[in-house]
Structure 1
Amino acid sequence: MKNKLFITVFTILIHSSSYAQYASTNLSPNIGFTVSVLGPIFGVYSLGISTFITSNLQVGMTGTYYSTRNLDPQAEGWLAEYRMTYYFSQINKNGIYLALAGGFESVQIKKDSGNWEKYEDPIGGIIPGYHWLLTNNLHLLAGLNFGYQFGTYQITPEIGFVYFL
């Protein structure tokens, strides 16, 4: 697993440096780091890295850790997600985006009966949203994830910051 993660990160970094050589000057920097705004509020901590493969198409991966023992429902675990995002406007302008996501989760959730139920299965979804430029390198993303997670189909909000290097 560590070798696959290293190879993926290495490939993204190599690709981003080659892409930067021919990218137009009006495109924001190419490597982005994503942090969820909702994490500290709900006990869901996410960190992601992404890169552009065209001026409107971004690919990335995110790791999430769940520790919501003080909230209802209580959950413990992690998930790894890969995402492909299409920006309908250029990244250096506010606009609508659409993302496809997929990955794997290993999460335990406490049910009403008091028993913990474990989910180790694939996840996936589609995320329409909107992104705002706060500065040239800092963007705010807000979207709704329509997808499969925790053994059921759900609609969940996503709010996060992306910082481009």
Structure 2
Amino acid sequence: MKKSPRNWVILLITCIGLTIFLLINQLIFASLPKEVPNYGILDFEFAWTASRISEIFAAWGSDGMILHANGIYWDFLYILSYGALLAGLILLVSRKLTGKTQLIGLYMTFTPFLAGVFDCIENILLLTMLNNPSVFSPVIPLIAGIMATIKFSILFVGVVFFLRSFFVWLTILVLSRIKSS
């Protein structure tokens, strides 16, 4: 596998992604359930119907809606952070593999960014509902739920590939060290 960009560049980007990921989780997202305790963002993403959205908005009130809208704006940066983090991890471990698995890993590196596209579409739909709570199309919650489902499914595939590949590489490394000693 061609080593461009260099591993240290990928590691740096991965670490920056991890740092931003953790900061947004702790400074932005962690406080939302305390400030708006009734329904969380996942309830909103997977509401599926306009009547469920109305129920969530009524529970949140205008202050809760503003807080969640701000959280969604932060989510656009969060998308870049989880994309850099997961893509970097997948690429770093894929470079340690060989053959077909390595090639699959190269393609799997793009899964977080593909998930990010669906996340962006979802965010736009969620913001549309938050900014027009009484006049949005009833199909918007359905499409937002579909986008969220696709996003999480793609991320799941990427994470599973990374974990599987990491443990395969680690097992091979340990066995080769045992054999050589």
| Same fold at TM > 0.5 | no
More helix by share: 2
Larger radius of gyration: 2
More strand by share: 1
If the length of structure 2 is used for normalisation, what is the TM-score?
A: 0.30
